[in-house]
Amino acid sequence: MLDRRQALYALLGLTSFDAAGQITLSAPDLVASARTRFFSAAELSSFRTLAETLVPAFQGRPGALEAGAPEFLDFLLSQSPADAQRIYRTGLAQYAKTKDLQPLSQPWTPEEPTDPYARFLRAAKSALYQATLNSRAWVDAANGRGGSGLYWLPVE
């Protein structure tokens, strides 16, 4: 059974599995950190551009921007281990320079990409998509279309 920290790491697409098929984590609990944000203003702007490209609004459903996914992931990454932060920081820097999404056109495989930039794009796409689908904005849009009306309230 996954604990809350494991679920958050899975949301970021930064999980790995041991020989028994269990999720392994490599970082201590950083919840007590006073840091509230991970990205600089320029990095968050670039991440928002990436989010809008990867998960756009479609047919009345909100995209990542409308769902607040970049801001949520900014907070989540501020509480993540250094290796996860490094993947996002270096990958986003490369995206800001090149705007290259070519690695996402490669066929999906269960193995993590060996290229760090491809690994970042895969993790970011998955995390942005999951954060969007699990947002209140997404559920509210679904309710207007006969959705279930279910929503996971944040832990206070």
Domain region containing 65: 4-143
Q: Which pairing describes strands 16-17 and 23-24: parallel, antiparallel, or unpaired?
A: antiparallel
Model-wide pTM > 0.85: no
Q: Work out the average pLDDT over 124-140.
A: 91
Asked if 84 contacts 96 with a C-beta cutoff of 8 angstroms, the reply is no
pLDDT confidence band for 12 (50 / 70 / 90): low
Question: Within a domain: residue 153?
Answer: no
Instruction: Domain count for the chain, please give it.
Output: 1
Question: Within a domain: residue 17?
Answer: yes
Question: Within a domain: residue 150?
Answer: no
DSSP, collapsed to helix, strand or coil, labels residue 137 as helix
Q: Work out the average pLDDT over 81-92.
A: 95
